[in-house]
């Protein structure tokens, strides 16, 4: 469930909004993803009860409301999968390009190759297994980041050190002439007293509104969620979505409030453009670990990249299922009807 989360993975996006808006950024990012996942759990249970033989949400719409509504939902769902899959591939390619120098177009084309092979061999089960393994690796690396910032880092190592450095970073008396062009410096515009440690942030609030509204479309029109709901056992569906919603708050908030704020506290020369491309976490890791962290940095980037790519198979399978169940079948004599979708046969 967490692997199928909407939008960009938390290691990059939550750190970015924390870098720009302070502590309110990761809070609104985490909240914007949690609400939809928890609400979708209710629909997932009803899908298993009322249409256990359905393959896609558009199939249910066609059986209930007819062809016109079916075509409308089909267009929205195809657009959603296109946007989400492209966002994941391009975001991962940008991180790899920034740290390795690999051409961004080549990185975007190489990413789906391994995914295509194991998806072709194992189908939906293979994507679940690969996603579980990749998510375990990624979360192991990310938990290490959090502990390093607040416990073991020689530069920070404690919450009080992070707080004091953030107060200095947002101080009106800070000399911004000593920073690089484009680097964030001084009080935060739109935040209460210009502080990074406040929830009264107009920029963070506006991001939260856009994030919550936008993620409703990214969740409820993404066939990857519907496939997970249909494939799961009814007894485990509600527990999975409740736990997934809780994780979707805990992980992005902890990562953003550690990685993003640590970059500000240490005064890393990162521009707003670089932060928007998800380069805050890898830059921080290189600084904290130096030469010894080179290999682990490469491993961490690969883990984050795989975390992005392992989301893509659901997008690919969603395209395949919609073409089969919503385009091919309705044109022949195998059109979905309410009797078969509900699990009853005459």
Q: Which is nearest to 57 in space by CA: 81, 80, 85, 77? A: 77
Predicted pLDDT at 80: 78
Task: Give the tokens for residue 26.
Answer: 């990761």
- Positions of the chain with pLDDT under 70: 1-12, 92, 95, 98-99, 111, 123-124, 175-183, 289-346
Task: Give the tokens for residue 338.
Answer: 């309410």
Predicted pLDDT at 163: 86
Predicted pLDDT at 346: 34
What pLDDT, in 10s, does the model give residues 259-313? 888 888 887 777 777 777 777 777 777 777 665 555 555 555 554 555 555 555 5
Q: Do the beta carbons of residue 85 and residue 318 sit within 8 Å? A: no
Predicted pLDDT at 340: 43
Q: Which is nearest to 74 in space by CA: 329, 335, 334, 327? A: 327
Average pLDDT, the chain: 73
Per-state percent for the chain, helix, strand, coil, to nearest 5: 75, 0, 25
DSSP 299-332: HHHHHHHHHHHTTHHHHHHHHHHHIIIIIIHHHT
Predicted pLDDT at 291: 58
Predicted pLDDT at 208: 86
Predicted pLDDT at 336: 46
Predicted pLDDT at 341: 43
Predicted pLDDT at 7: 43
């Amino acid at each position: 469930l967490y692997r199928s989360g909407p939008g960009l993975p938390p290691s990059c996006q939550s750190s970015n909004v924390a870098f720009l808006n302070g502590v309110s950024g990761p809070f609104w990012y985490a909240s914007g993803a949690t609400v939809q996942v928890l609400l979708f759990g209710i629909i997932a249970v009803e899908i298993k009860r009322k249409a256990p033989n359905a393959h896609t949400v558009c199939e249910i719409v066609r059986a209930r409301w007819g062809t016109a509504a079916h075509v409308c939902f089909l267009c929205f769902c195809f657009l959603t999968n296109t946007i989400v899959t492209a966002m994941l591939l391009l975001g991962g390619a940008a991180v790899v390009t920034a740290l390795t120098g690999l051409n961004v177009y080549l990185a975007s084309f190489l990413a789906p190759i391994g995914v295509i092979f194991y998806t072709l061999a194992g189908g939906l089960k293979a994507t679940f297994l690969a996603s579980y393994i990749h998510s375990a690796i990624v979360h192991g690396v990310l938990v290490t980041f959090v502990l390093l910032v607040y416990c073991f880092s020689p530069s920070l190592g404690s919450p009080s050190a992070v707080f004091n450095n953030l107060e200095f970073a947002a101080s009106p008396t800070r000399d911004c002439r000593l920073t690089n062009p484009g680097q964030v410096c001084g009080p935060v515009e739109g935040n209460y007293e210009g502080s990074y440690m406040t929830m009264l942030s107009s920029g963070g609030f506006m991001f939260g509104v856009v994030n919550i509204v936008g993620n409703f479309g990214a969740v409820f029109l993404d066939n990857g969620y519907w496939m997970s709901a249909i494939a799961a056992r009814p007894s485990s569906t509600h527990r999975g979505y409740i736990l997934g919603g809780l994780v979707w708050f805990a992980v992005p908030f902890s990562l953003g409030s550690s990685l993003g704020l640590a970059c500000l506290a240490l005064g890393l020369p990162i521009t707003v453009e670089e932060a928007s491309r998800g380069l805050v976490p890898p830059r921080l890791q290189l600084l904290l670990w130096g030469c010894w962290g080179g290999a682990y940095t490469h491993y961490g980037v690969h883990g984050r990249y795989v975390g992005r790519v392992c989301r893509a198979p659901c997008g690919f399978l969603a395209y395949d299922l919609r073409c089969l169940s919503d385009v091919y079948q309705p044109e022949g004599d195998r059109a979905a009807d309410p009797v078969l979708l509900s699990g009853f046969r005459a």
